[in-house]
Amino acid sequence: MDPYQLRRLGRTNLHLPAVGLGTATIGDMRGAIPEAQALATVEAAWAAGISFYDTAPWYGRGKSELRLGAALRPKPRDAYVLTTKIGRTLHRPADPQAFAAAMVDGSLPIEIRFDYTRDGVMRSYEDSIQRLGIPEIDALLIHDLDPMHHGDDGVEPFLRQLEDGRGFAALAELKASGQIKAIGAGINMLGMIPRFLPRFPIDFFIVAMPYTLLDQGALDIEFPLCEAHGAGVVIGAPFASGILASRTGSAATYAYRPVEDATSKRVAAIEAVCSAHGVPIGAVALQFPLAHPLVASIIPGPNHPDQVRANLSWLRTPVPGSLWSDLKAAGLIRADAPVPA
């Protein structure tokens, strides 16, 4: 599979390579990594020809944008696509020392507030430009507006902030003026795409979890709805937050949580099929979502240059058609899931 093959993102004018770089991990959200290692990871992606970079204010409470901007600022701006997100604004804590002492990851000691209103959108956009040091952002995504972050009864008030609070109108104005090229939304769970469409004309979704080797639930409602509305798809977390790359080791997670026994057994069964064909499970995990015609790109989140190179190697690894057939025959992926030719 060609990692650099450009694909149109929905009906937008953006064309993305098959693989981009997700940058949550270089924001130290899942454990602190040295600054030099984070920057080297981005540099390795650039040197390897990766030209799509996704970030967000939430990733490390500003740290991911700061680090990504430091690496990308010297690069020609017309040589890459850059996306970030809105929905959270960052603020000085009332007691910075106490706040910093309570931090449990490597994120910056900055307070966050959810805000999907016009003012929140514009503050987030302007602040992202300053942290990145890059005044041109290709697309903005509505971030984490789902029950996972707001509870089942907390989603509608924030949807109304987008609607009545004119948050989405601000995004539409940025697009109409040419400041951004597309409006997206980041989705972590099923059920939110139907709440966004057709209420808001979303150009694309980053789908992080509901479409991987371990879960194809998006095939039922989400992807048909995207197709009907001309919305493109980018797959975040193609390794299902880690387990499809690191198997069931101590560092592995599924859906950003410790791995349960049933999931471990399913991964072991998938890996057994992959091993029988002499193919690493990581290669199968990366190539699988790219077979869906809606999917323009995948954005794994490496935190080391070696992981960047491993991902590119896995994308180039030949996967025989019989492997996909065996996975379907064993009920390990859905029979109706598109697979690479």
- Catalytic positions are 54, 59, 85
What are the respective helix, strand and coil percentages of the chain, to the nearest 5?
40, 15, 40
Tell me the C-alpha distance between 242 and 249, whole Å.
10
Sign of the four-CA dihedral 78, 84, 86, 92:
negative
Please name every residue paired with 22 in a beta bridge, in sequence order, or none if there are none. 54
Q: CA-CA distance, 52 to 79, in Å (whole number)?
A: 9
Both structure tokens of 239: 């390794």
CA 298 centroid distance within chain = 8
Quote the tokens at residue 271.
């890996």
Strand partners, 83: 54, 139
Q: In this structure, are residues 314 and 36 in contact, taking their beta carbons and an 8 Å threshold?
A: no
The β-bridge partners of 15 are 8
Taking only Cα atoms into account, the Rg of the chain, rounded to an integer number of angstroms, comes to 19
End-to-end CA distance of the chain: 10
- Report whether 55 contacts 143 (CB < 8 A): no
Q: What is the Cα–Cα distance from 200 to 192, expressed in whole angstroms?
A: 12
Cα separation, 250 vs 240, in Å, equals: 15
- Sign of the dihedral through C-alpha 215, 218, 220, 224: negative
Nearest to 297 by CA among 224, 211, 217: 211
